[in-house]
Structure 1
Amino acid sequence: MSMPPIRQQTAGPASLTLQKNDLEKSIAELVVEYEIVADQARTTLDPGSKTKLEIRKKQLLSQIEEKERLLGALEQQKQNINRHILSFDEALPKIDFREARRIIHRVVDDLQINEGGAALFLLQQSRRMAGDLLLLALSDVLSSGRATPIYYEVAFSPATGGADQATFLKSMGRYLGVELTDDLSIDVSVIRTTLCGALREHSTVVIQLTNWDAVGRQNQHELMQWLLETFWQPLVDELEYVLEEWNARVIFVIVANRPLTEDCRKLPCFCTVDAFNSRSILEIPLTHWTEKDIRIWLASHFRLSKPQTKTWAKQIYEESDGDPNLIRQALQDYFEQLLASQT
């Protein structure tokens, strides 16, 4: 990727670490020498030798202080870099997802008005469309003005234990401290009851089911139907009793890296934000990013002139064709160069 010209660069994180290690080693060596000289100065009986040793002590102390000053400056520079990196990671989810964030805000606002409730979100093609960034944005929205959400992360994977009803319940049971039986109907009931029983005022529980595709296309319809009819919808019903006493929220997010199968999409369980139903699935759209999206984000988070912002946005968009992951990598590349020039 070609880049606009960058000013003279300073040290990056790796070289700063090497310099820091070198300074710490030098300081340690000087301290050892200082202690030896100080001990000799205390014990010598020769006035001439004592004078020379005292002079050497002062020289060593001065060298130690200078290297400690340099070490402090390096540590400050490294902290600045870490803060910039953190700022980049926090800012990136804000680049787009305008429609997705509008939907999330609307649902969360409804839950706030209703003093609690539930929502089931679906993300499709998450990996290709940078769905992880939207999940970060969702976390920010859910954390606003409330206690930090409690996350129950369930990852389907045949390589690590399966992708079926039992796997889901086993993962949930570990979070909730529930000892499962071999009876799925009993286990799912205990999981629902335990989850609802743990909710308190302003509680937010987020169940995040990732790698839905590991279920296998031939099994998606059956498992989705089970999740809805046996787990989620009865959970929403039980939550109604909790809401009589507590303002609490339960959010379920299903993350798929490919589109759902056709028979799964035909299930009568989807809703729109205009006709939101907590018992149904609401898809959160992941869309391509536009040149304008990139330009607005650059202007908000980079110290660039307007012409440079426009040039970078156009170049990044043309190279990526709006693909979120390619744009993400391009912005990271640009950011690292800017970071080196501005720290």
Structure 2
Amino acid sequence: MEVNGLLIQQKEAYQKTLLKKYQAAYAQMSKTLSDTEKINLEEEIKQLETSIQATQREINELRVPQKSESESYRQLSNVWEEELHKINYSKVESALNTIFKPLKRREGSALFFIRKSQDMGGKWCIQKIKHRIQSDLGSGLVPRSIGFSSFQNADAMGVLSRLAERYIIDMPVEQNNLKGCTQAIIKRIIDSLESGQIFLLEIQLYRLQPHDSFLKWFVNDFWMPLVSQLPAISSQKRNIRLMAVLAVQGGTVSKGCLSSDLCCNKKNFNGSKIFELTLQRWTEPEICDWLFDFSGLTAQVKRLNDDQIEQMAENIHYVTGGIPNKVYHELMNAMTHCTS
């Protein structure tokens, strides 16, 4: 028999003994007693009640399966993944403050661009954007995500065909009908949105060739026409926001495919054009603060003290150079080791 089962049997037997004493004490109350005897008996009954209730709680706790180490680790691991975007995106935060402020309680748009997304933690930046959208602009987030396999190059028809699948549109995919396909998708997106919703399109790209025309098509032929629909529908559908994130995993992005006429900056922000989000390396103090705030390592059975947390942050920053994706893997390895 397992240990918990044996303990439950012993405690149940002890509880039965307490109940018999409790019943006997109550039976005594009906007899003729002196004031002193009555006070002592009442005190004994109270103590027995307390003991019976405490024993029952112990039995209940033994009957509840204890969390396994793997379950506890999964819970911690989920917290780590969810909170990682809080290490450092200060420049992104500053940009979002400026861009989102005019979009509160009114329609508008924003088109973000991230380069070297794989190394620089683009996925946590996008996570940050989603958190900020929901906290600043409302709960009506409508996310749409598009990705390309490693053997595919991003192109206009690839994006349109994936959106057509999402919106269940039966449309031709011939290259010579690109304009018609684009218009059909734009109409379907606009028709699908309701007041207060925030449409967020996320497109993951492996790389862009030096003279790739994808960004030019996306801005001039897809995004600008989509955003131009907002004024016309604002009287029927209020506070619709259109947003997109283009994340390039690796490689350099040349001026040939990202020309200045496609872009805007914080000073001259234009929601119809590309705004680049600059991602930074994570510093040792930022890693250290995050470990204290979100790792949970100071509250584990094998808890770490302040010096150990600081040493962990220093070593992780040293071997990763603060590159977010490398920091992530070192953090996960170190924290997993500490909780196993």
Give how far 1:163 is off: 2.5
Of residues 202-211 and 304-313 in structure 1, the stretch that sits farther from structure 2 once superposed is 304-313
Q: Would you say the 8 A contact 1:117–1:243 is kept in 2?
A: no
Distance in 2, Cα, partners of 1:74 & 1:267: 56
Structure 1 unaligned runs (5+)? 1-22, 28-65
- Per the alignment, residue 287 of structure 1 pairs with 280
Per the alignment, in what secondary structure is the counterpart of residue 128 of structure 1?
A: helix
* TM-score normalised by length of structure 2: 0.73
Distance in 2, Cα, partners of 1:231 & 1:159: 24
What is the aligned residue count? 270
Distance in 1, Cα, partners of 2:86 & 2:67: 31
Partner of residue 105 from structure 1, selected from 97, 101, 109: 97
Q: Would you say the 8 A contact 1:207–1:253 is kept in 2?
A: yes
Supply the RMSD in Å over aligned alpha carbons. 2.4
- Per the alignment, residue 198 of structure 2 pairs with 204
Give how far 1:148 is off: 4.9
Per the alignment, in what secondary structure is the counterpart of residue 103 of structure 2?
A: helix
- Per the alignment, residue 28 of structure 2 pairs with none
- Which has the larger Rg? 2
Give how far 1:335 is off: 1.3
Give how far 1:290 is off: 1.0
1:26-45 equivalences under 5 Å are none
- Per the alignment, residue 312 of structure 2 pairs with 312
Distance in 2, Cα, partners of 1:84 & 1:141: 23
Partner of residue 262 from structure 1, selected from 230, 255, 265: 255
1:334 aligns with 2:327: no
Partner of residue 153 from structure 1, selected from 145, 151, 155: 145
* TM-score normalised by length of structure 1: 0.72
Q: Would you say the 8 A contact 1:149–1:206 is kept in 2?
A: yes
Give how far 1:191 is off: 0.9
Distance in 2, Cα, partners of 1:122 & 1:201: 26
1:125 aligns with 2:125: no
Q: Would you say the 8 A contact 1:84–1:339 is kept in 2?
A: no
Give how far 1:69 is off: 5.3
- Per the alignment, residue 269 of structure 2 pairs with 276
Q: Which amino acid aligns with 1:207?
A: L
Q: Would you say the 8 A contact 2:110–2:243 is kept in 1?
A: yes
Q: Which amino acid aligns with 1:193?
A: K
Question: Percent identity over the alignment?
Answer: 20
Partner of residue 193 from structure 1, selected from 187, 191, 202: 187
- Per the alignment, residue 324 of structure 2 pairs with 324
Structure 2 unaligned runs (5+)? 6-58, 299-303
Give how far 1:231 is off: 0.6
1:69-84 equivalences under 5 Å are 72-75=65-68, 77-84=69-76
Q: Would you say the 8 A contact 1:120–1:253 is kept in 2?
A: yes
1:239 aligns with 2:230: yes
Q: Would you say the 8 A contact 1:157–1:163 is kept in 2?
A: no
